[in-house]
């Protein structure tokens, strides 16, 4: 089954950037100022062997290209004059002769062709590894994000706009792969430049220095466009993230807006982001083209100066000057290509930085579910003197104490905002009390295995969400250990069996986006079945029957009471409905954040 990440509460207008609970960007957030830092962090996501193999292939490709370049000068010299001279070509031919290799056009032409062919083959192998690495990086980032997000504390979800995750898992994760790709290309460009420089220095240190000077001049002149591309890419990523978050929120709550004909108003919300994205894209395109376009004039000027200096000042032989010109041109072109590559790295990094910030924030909010003692549930649970305050607010509940005895039905009631849901969240360990404690069979929840405790419970929230999937998958939550018989038993207890039987496709009916193809009451009954299918020891219902007619509600209450009496199921129901108060063994009245009174059945 394909269940999506559960929708979580979010604000309509998402902030463009987020911080952790203390308002700080976490220490693990990427530092874009350090060159190659991002590439190293990306490389850690894939096997080291692959990165090393890629680097080795690139370096060997550089050596092969060096061999072909070194062969070029004597080849031209031999073709022109038939003999070597006192320059670099002459030295090379003398060295070859002293090692028993007779310099000839055939030898150098063979070396040239072999070098070029080897370079092409090795580059192909390197890029094949890069291709695999891109796929590995992208999937590793996605899995890391999913793992981090699913294991974060409850408070984290409340603060995050859900669209941030959709954006991160899609476009931004792909950009992480692209950042790796561009960095690999950039490294290949650097190896090529190094090869050219070695060859140039081999023939003439003066031309070597000239090449470095030209390269530096080109880098300094064009670096501004790299910075512009980096800045605009980051701005674009931020606004796309903000836009996606806002649109996701809007779509989740589109029904009332459509019903009231107010959706058009919200279009203006996207205007600011759309304008900012347009501006950033324009600037980025300009920076990319300017970087490319300015390289040719710089190259032409440098070549003209270089040829003039070589011929008129250094009085180099014309054959050698011709080869040097070729080498200088290729070096400068390679530097220009590397400059463009760096620009692409900076652009792709923006998405990678954004997704890694999302991962870092989720990891910083990691919940440690496991590690404590395995809980038992023989006597029941208890809140003992619990006080709790949300961030930046006063205490929502104060000194709350009551028991949820095993096999009994406890109803929690109180006015809106009294703190009922907050209390249940504390019982489930979703929120930690500021003082006081939750006890399960007398053991503090803080010392128990939270995951095991939660697996003992069935929970139906106030704002329930069904997934765009079949009824079967919605009840089992995709867990294969539950068969159709388990699901039918749960549907029966939840009072959903009759309407499911009437559906043409029964359990295989797809319920639509957030269960939109079912009525509110039908959705509630499916959610109750979902909470019962794994035979929990504690069933928590947060206003779970509010959408039902009194008869259907009474039927469900009867079923749940029968389950409690026959199986020892413990029930905690938040409800204002008389049916739950009448069925309860204990009714806990919350008022102004405290327990006003507890009514117990004689």
Ligand X SMILES: Nc1ncnc2c1ncn2[C@@H]1O[C@H](COP(=O)(O)OP(=O)(O)OP(=O)(O)O)[C@@H](O)[C@H]1O
Chain residues in the site for ligand X (CB under 6 A): 158, 390, 393, 396, 414, 416-422, 462
Least separation in angstroms between residue 418's CB and ligand X is 4
Q: Which two tokens stand for residue 353?
A: 């930085």
Task: Return the sign of the alpha-carbon dihedral for residues 132, 137, 142, 147.
Answer: positive
Q: Which is nearer to ligand X, 122 or 574 (CB)?
A: 574
Least separation in angstroms between residue 580's CB and ligand X is 14
Q: Which is nearer to ligand X, 139 or 158 (CB)?
A: 158
Q: Which is nearer to ligand X, 393 or 566 (CB)?
A: 393
Q: Which residues contact 445 (CB under 8 A, 6 or more apart)?
A: 375, 429, 437, 438, 439, 453
Name the one residue in this structure whose structure tokens are 């929708």.
7
Q: Which is nearer to ligand X, 248 or 421 (CB)?
A: 421
Gap between the Cα atoms of 13 and 345, Å rounded? 31
Q: Which is nearer to ligand X, 462 or 600 (CB)?
A: 462
H/E run at residue 587: strand 586-591
Least separation in angstroms between residue 591's CB and ligand X is 10
Least separation in angstroms between residue 158's CB and ligand X is 5
Least separation in angstroms between residue 229's CB and ligand X is 40
Q: Which residues contact 176 (CB under 8 A, 6 or more apart)?
A: 42, 137, 138, 141, 351, 352, 355, 356
Q: Which is nearer to ligand X, 98 or 416 (CB)?
A: 416
Q: Which is nearer to ligand X, 158 or 403 (CB)?
A: 158
Q: Which is nearer to ligand X, 178 or 425 (CB)?
A: 425
Least separation in angstroms between residue 448's CB and ligand X is 23
Alpha carbon 32 to chain centroid distance? 17
Task: Return the sign of the alpha-carbon dihedral for residues 106, 111, 114, 116.
Answer: negative
Least separation in angstroms between residue 577's CB and ligand X is 12
Gap between the Cα atoms of 495 and 515, Å rounded? 17
Half-sphere exposure of 563 toward its Cβ, with a 13 Å CA cutoff?
24
Q: Which is nearer to ligand X, 229 or 527 (CB)?
A: 527
Gap between the Cα atoms of 107 and 109, Å rounded? 6
| Helix and strand numbers, DSSP H then E, in the chain | 20, 10
Based on the number of CB atoms within 10 Å of its own CB, is 597 exposed (0-12), middle (13-18) or buried (19 or more)?
A: exposed
Least separation in angstroms between residue 254's CB and ligand X is 23
Provide the edge-to-edge strand list for the sheet that holds 443-444: 395-405, 380-389, 435-440, 443-444
Q: Which is nearer to ligand X, 273 or 425 (CB)?
A: 425
Q: Which is nearer to ligand X, 66 or 419 (CB)?
A: 419
For 520-547, b/e burial (b = at least 16 CB within 10 A) is ebbbbbbbbbbbbbbebbbbbbbbbbeb
Q: CA 24, 25, 27: angle at the middle one, nearest 5?
A: 110
Q: Which residues contact 151 (CB under 8 A, 6 or more apart)?
A: 362, 366, 367, 369
Beta bridge partners of 404: 381
**Contact assessment for residue 537 and residue 456, using Cβ atoms and an 8 Å cutoff:** yes
């Amino acid at each position: 089954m394909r269940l999506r990440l559960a929708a979580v509460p979010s604000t309509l207008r998402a902030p463009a950037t987020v911080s952790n609970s203390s308002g700080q960007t976490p220490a693990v957030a990427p530092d874009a100022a350090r060159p190659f830092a991002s590439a190293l962090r990306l490389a850690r996501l894939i096997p080291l062997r692959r990165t090393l193999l890629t680097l080795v292939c690139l370096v060997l490709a550089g050596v092969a290209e060096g061999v072909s370049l070194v062969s070029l000068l004597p080849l031209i010299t031999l073709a022109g004059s038939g003999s070597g001279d006192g320059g670099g070509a002459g030295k090379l031919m003398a060295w070859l002769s002293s090692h028993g290799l007779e310099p000839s056009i055939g030898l150098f032409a063979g070396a040239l062709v072999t070098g070029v062919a080897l370079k092409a083959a090795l580059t192909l192998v390197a890029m094949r590894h890069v291709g695999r690495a891109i796929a590995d990086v992208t999937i590793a980032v996605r899995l890391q994000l999913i793992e981090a997000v699913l294991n974060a504390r409850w408070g984290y979800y409340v603060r995050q706009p859900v669209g941030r995750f959709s954006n991160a898992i899609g476009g931004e994760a792909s950009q992480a792969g692209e950042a790796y790709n561009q960095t690999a290309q950039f490294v290949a460009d650097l190896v090529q430049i190094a090869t050219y420089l070695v060859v140039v220095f081999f023939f003439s240190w003066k031309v070597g220095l000239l090449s470095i000077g030209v390269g530096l001049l080109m880098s300094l002149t064009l670096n501004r466009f790299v910075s512009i591309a980096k800045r605009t890419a980051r701005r674009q990523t931020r606004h796309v993230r903000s836009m996606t978050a806002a649109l996701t929120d809007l779509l989740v709550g589109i029904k009332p807006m459509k019903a009231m004909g107010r959706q058009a108003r919200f279009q203006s919300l996207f205007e600011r982001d759309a304008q900012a994205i347009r501006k950033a894209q324009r600037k980025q395109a300009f920076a990319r083209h300017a970087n490319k376009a300015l390289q040719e004039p710089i190259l032409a000027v440098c070549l003209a100066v270089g040829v003039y200096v070589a011929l008129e000042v250094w009085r180099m032989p014309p054959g050698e000057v011709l080869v040097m010109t070729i080498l200088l041109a290729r070096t400068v072109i390679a530097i220009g290509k590397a400059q463009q590559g760096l620009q692409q790295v900076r652009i792709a990094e923006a998405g990678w930085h954004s997704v890694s910030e999302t991962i870092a924030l989720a990891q910083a909010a990691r919940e440690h579910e496991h590690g404590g003692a395995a809980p038992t549930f023989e006597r029941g649970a208890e809140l003992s003197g619990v006080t709790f305050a949300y961030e930046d607010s006063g205490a929502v509940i104060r000194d709350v104490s009551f028991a949820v005895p095993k096999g009994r039905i406890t109803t929690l009631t109180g006015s809106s905002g009294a703190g009922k849901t907050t209390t249940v969240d504390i019982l489930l360990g979703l929120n930690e009390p500021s003082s006081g404690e939750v006890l399960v069979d007398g053991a503090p929840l803080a010392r128990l295995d939270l995951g095991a405790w939660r697996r003992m419970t069935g929970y139906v929230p106030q704002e329930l969400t069904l997934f765009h999937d079949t009824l079967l998958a919605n009840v089992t939550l995709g867990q294969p250990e539950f068969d159709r018989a388990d699901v039918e038993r749960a549907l029966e207890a939840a009072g959903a069996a009759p309407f499911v039987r009437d559906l043409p496709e029964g359990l295989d009916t797809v319920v639509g986006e957030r269960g939109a193809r079912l009525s509110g009451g039908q959705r509630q009954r499916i959610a109750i079945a979902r909470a019962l299918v794994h035979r929990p020891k504690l069933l928590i219902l947060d206003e779970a029957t509010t959408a039902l007619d009194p008869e259907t509600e009474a039927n469900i209450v009867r079923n749940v009471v029968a389950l409690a009496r026959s199986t020892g199921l413990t029930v905690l129901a938040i409800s204002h409905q008389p049916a739950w108060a009448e069925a309860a063994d204990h009714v806990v009245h919350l008022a102004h954040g405290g327990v006003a009174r507890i009514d117990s059945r004689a």
